[in-house]
Amino acid sequence: MVLARICFLVFLGISFSTWPLGQSSWLKSCGNDRPVEITDGSFTRELSSEHTLPKLENATISSITLHQLNVFDTSLPEEDNALFRFANRAHVTTKPEVIKSILLFKENSLYNPQLLRESERLLRKQSYLYDARVFAEPDCDGNVAVTVVTRDLWTLLPDISFSRSGGENSSRIGFRESNLFGHGKRLSLTHIDDTDRSGYLFVYDDPNILSTRYQGRLEYSDNDDGERHYIGVDYPFFSTNTPYSYGGLNFADKRIEPLYENGETVSEFLQETELSQAYFGMASQQSNGWTRRLILGYRDEKHTFTRIKETTLPIAENRSLSYPYIQTQWFQDAFIKVKNFDSIYRTEDLNLGWNINTSIGYSDDSISDDDSRWILNAVVSKAHFSSEQSLTRFLFSIDGNWNVDTGEAENLITQLNLEYYLNTHDLQSWYAQLNITHGKHLTADKQLTLGGETGLRGYPARYLQGERRIVVNLEKRYYWEYDLLQLFKVGGAAYFDIGRVDGKALFLENSKFYKNVGFGLRMAPSRANSGLVLHLDLAAPINKPDKVDSVQWHFTVKNRF
């Protein structure tokens, strides 16, 4: 998506380089002991050939040494040029105290290999770091010396983009900084113009307030159809060992919402949303890597709908919910390091364990001044190696309300998502995805749509709408060992999509299957935009309906391949 952004990255020289982990000189040995060897970071797709942390009991961490690598590795001939050297000098490296504030261990604390592995994952989650490794080596006193290696990303970027997805145009212009003065703070100011609205968005995001575990986010948007604000502060479950969590937020949004049929806007209405929430949670460690969390909270939300001159269809009734809720989470820690799953040649942390998250609340009419409702939500996900060459991931979710006064469900949406990966070669794989979504008693502000934005890439965005949707995507994926101008790792995909929606529609019900074929280019930047993948797709519908273009082209930015 983001054609102008790509051009800027090329101009600025924000590129890929080899991740230099073979420098065992970073670790010291005692006497004639053989030094610990560090692998070169060459991973298979399924499992990483990672280093082994020593198994020691009652050992203490005697020292923590940071090795912070700059954006470019000018020791490599292909990156030793004036532009890249200037970029390194201009870049503000992440402050050491920021790196240390993320670690789950300190000097003179008890050595625990699990905390080192989880700290490595937490570092890789940071948007200003491309990769991270945590090494440990016994010292001469029987304790452990820890070395933390990170590589910074270039974080000050113009947010300039143009995209056309599913026949619709959108653009952005502004800037964003995801490591403000090296302190890990995120700041952005952007003008957004798309088919639904135009306006300005300001965001300040602090993942470690004053180098603590507290997180905060401030957001304000001023659009031509309304405005939005968000403010939230919380102490999250930042680790599997975090014993408690708490926080609160306040959110308000005023906007004009469209309704679609055959890719066209057929009605609009004004929607105002107000939301406040506070919670407190506790966690306990179970056997076999399981963590159990219990969260108690209170939530107050109001949805108001108003007719405007563009309103041509009935609008939803106002809703008010005010309720306490209880949430439970069962989380299994079974992480491995992989590559070429959701990104391209980047270390990815894949959890093979279960993640079960459920919540239930009750909004009484005496408090909410509306119908009494049960509020239900559940999400279950799991990844599993079905063979040495194949992996399956699934996610099941259910979300909605039960109206006690009417005795029926409201806005109940159930979803099943299955993904299958088959590795035929180190540089190639097959990918299949099945998504089934079912809506029951959806109010007028809710639509299940089918089009370019939901996986049917040969059709305009929101081309069809209904109550039940099924989409199947089949892809042959390629991961090329090629650095585009030392800027991007490059991949590609050829694909076939098929899908349909049925059930109650705004006008005519349509249960026909729609199909398309296409191919696309994938580019994953390593010097900025951590974890993102740029998609350039061309797709053609099969048995093209009237008023649908013969070719749909998409520029999009996603966090997955």
| pLDDT tens-digit readout, 327-380 | 999 999 999 888 888 888 888 899 999 999 999 999 999 888 899 999 999 999
Higher-confidence residue: 505 or 499? Answer: 499
Structural domain containing residue 16: 3-152
Domain identity same for 186 and 214: yes
Domain co-membership, 127 together with 273: no
The answer, yes or no, to whether residue 205 has pLDDT greater than 60, is yes
User: Looking at the predicted structure, is the pLDDT value of residue 396 above 70?
Assistant: yes
Is a pLDDT exceeding 80 seen at residue 272?
yes
Both 76 and 136 in a single domain?
yes
Q: Are 162 and 142 in the same domain?
A: no
| DSSP H or E run through 150 | strand 144-152
Whether 17 shows a pLDDT value over 80: the answer reads no
**How many Å apart are CA 469 and CA 463, to the nearest integer?**
12
Domain membership of residue 274 (yes or no) is yes
Whether residue 205 is found in the same domain as residue 274: no
Does 383 share its domain with 428? yes
* Residue-level pLDDT at 482: 78
d(CA 537, CA 165) in angstroms, rounded, equals 9
Share of the chain above pLDDT 90, in %: 49
State both tokens at 73.
């590795």
539, 461, 456: which is closest to 500 by C-alpha? 456
Residues 271 and 341 in one domain: yes
SS3 131: strand
97-111, 407-421, 536-550: least confident range: 536-550
**pLDDT band for position 169 (cuts 50, 70, 90):** low
Q: Do the domain assignments include residue 417?
A: yes
- Judged against a pLDDT cut of 90, whether residue 29 lies above it is answered with no
Question: Do residues 368 and 510 both lie within one domain?
Answer: yes
Any domain includes 245: no
pLDDT band at 222 (very low <50, low <70, confident <90, very high): confident
Where is the domain boundary, 94, 117, 152? 152
- Band of residue 129 on the pLDDT scale cut at 50, 70, 90: very high
Residue 251 has pLDDT above 80, yes or no: yes
* Phi (first) and psi of residue 190, to 5 degrees: -140, 140
Which of 98, 121, 152 represents a domain boundary (last residue)?
152
CA distance 18 to 75: 11
pLDDT for 161 equals 60
Distance of CA 444 to the CA centre of its chain: 29
Q: How many CB atoms lie within 10 A of CB 445?
A: 16
pLDDT at 533: 86
Domain match, 101 and 190 both: no
* 22 pLDDT tier (thresholds 50, 70, 90): very low
What pLDDT shows up at residue 14?
A: 32
pLDDT exceeds 90 at position 57: no
Specify the range with the lowest mean pLDDT, choosing from 151-165, 344-358, 436-450, 519-533: 151-165
Q: Within a domain: residue 521?
A: yes
Higher pLDDT: 263 or 92? It is 92
pLDDT of residue 51: 67
Confidence of residue 554 (pLDDT cuts 50, 70, 90): confident
Among residues of the chain, what percentage have pLDDT more than 70? 88
Q: What is the pLDDT of residue 139?
A: 85
| Pairing, β 373-385 against β 355-363 | antiparallel
**244 falls within a domain:** no
Domain count, the chain: 3
Among left, alpha and beta (phi > 0; psi -120 to 50; other), residue 455 is: left
Asked if pLDDT for residue 385 goes beyond 80, the answer is yes
pLDDT for residue 546 is more than 90: no
For the ranges 16-30, 238-252, 290-304, 519-533, the lowest mean pLDDT is seen at 16-30
pLDDT band at 157 (very low <50, low <70, confident <90, very high): confident
- Contact of 514 with 465, CB cutoff 8 Å: no
Cβ(290)–Cβ(330) under 8 Å? yes
Residues 223, 107, single domain; the answer is no
State the CATH number of the domain containing residue 354. Answer: 2.40.160
State pLDDT tens for residues 206-219. Answer: 998 988 899 999 99
CB 35 within 8 A of CB 147: no
**pLDDT(487) > 80:** no
Task: Phi first, then psi: give them for residue 452, nearest 5 degrees.
Answer: -60, -25
The answer to whether position 408 is within a domain reads yes
Tell me what the pLDDT averaged over the chain comes to.
Answer: 85
**What's the pLDDT score for residue 20?**
43
Beta-bridge partners for 98? none
- Residue 484: which pLDDT band, with cuts at 50, 70 and 90? confident
Please give the Cα distance from 485 to 13 (Å, whole number).
8
Tell me if 449 sits within 8 A of 439, measured CB to CB: no
Is the confidence at residue 425, as pLDDT, over 90? Answer: no
Q: What is the SS3 assignment for 541? A: strand
Higher pLDDT, 157 or 133: 133
Query: Residue range 430-452: average pLDDT?
Result: 92
- What is the Cα–Cα distance from 345 to 524, expressed in whole angstroms? 9
Does one domain contain both 435 and 298? yes
Between CA 464 and CA 547 the distance in angstroms is 13
Which amino acid, 546?
A: D
Helix (H) or strand (E) holding 272: strand 264-285
**Residue 469 above 50 pLDDT?**
yes
85 and 104 fall within a common domain: yes
* Stronger pLDDT, 52 or 102, i.e. the higher one: 102
Instruction: Give the model's pLDDT for residue 109.
Output: 92
Taking only the tens place, the pLDDT of each residue in 289-341 is 899 999 999 999 999 999 999 899 889 899 999 999 999 999 999 998 888 88
State residue 21's pLDDT score: 43
* Residue listed under structure tokens 């937020």: 249
Where in 159-242 does DSSP place strands (E)? 161-165, 168-177, 186-193, 198-206, 215-223, 226-235
